Amino acid sequence: MTGQTDAERCILYVGMTEGSLIDILNSWVLGEDAPYWNRKGPYVSQLIPAAISLLQRGMIEVWEQPLPLGVGEGSLMTSDRAAEALADPENWWRYYPDENWDPNEDLARYADLATGNTEPMTMFYSVYTTEVARQPGIPIWPGSSRDRSGH
């Protein structure tokens, strides 16, 4: 089971210690976009197929927990429900009008995002790397020189 993509290795690495979809996205985005939440949306499309592939191969499991954290109990999701949750970009990232901004940036590039869903997330999804993925010889993040430009 070798030959994971960079995105798959990132997910496996973050999932070693229980990583939320937001943690995975924050780990994936590098460079000048990394400090700014509202620049991270375009990167989600690189992570969704990688996460679904890992789920289908039994290398990750997905848990859900209602927000705010601590209000309800988390539960392991079935593979079908987990695939649906992973496939929804809004579970990874949402535009937040009040989130951090680059003070020198022309905010016009975000005009289309303002019409999207800006409601706070109501469910929190976490990924755990399974024993299947922890076998010797399976490469797990970090490490790649690949450009992960979301644009």
Q: State the total domains in the chain.
A: 1
Establish if 148 belongs to a structural domain.
Answer: no
Write down the pLDDT at residue 39. 84
- Domain hosting residue 27, numbered range: 6-95+117-134
Establish if 103 belongs to a structural domain.
Answer: no
Write down the pLDDT at residue 81. 97
Write down the pLDDT at residue 37. 84
CA angle 126, 130, 133 (to 5 degrees): 120
Q: Are 14 and 140 in contact (CB under 8 A)?
A: no
Q: What is the mean pLDDT of each run of 10 residues along the chain (151 residues)?
A: 82 91 95 88 95 96 84 88 96 75 66 65 89 76 51 47
Write down the pLDDT at residue 145. 43
Q: Are 27 and 8 in contact (CB under 8 A)?
A: no
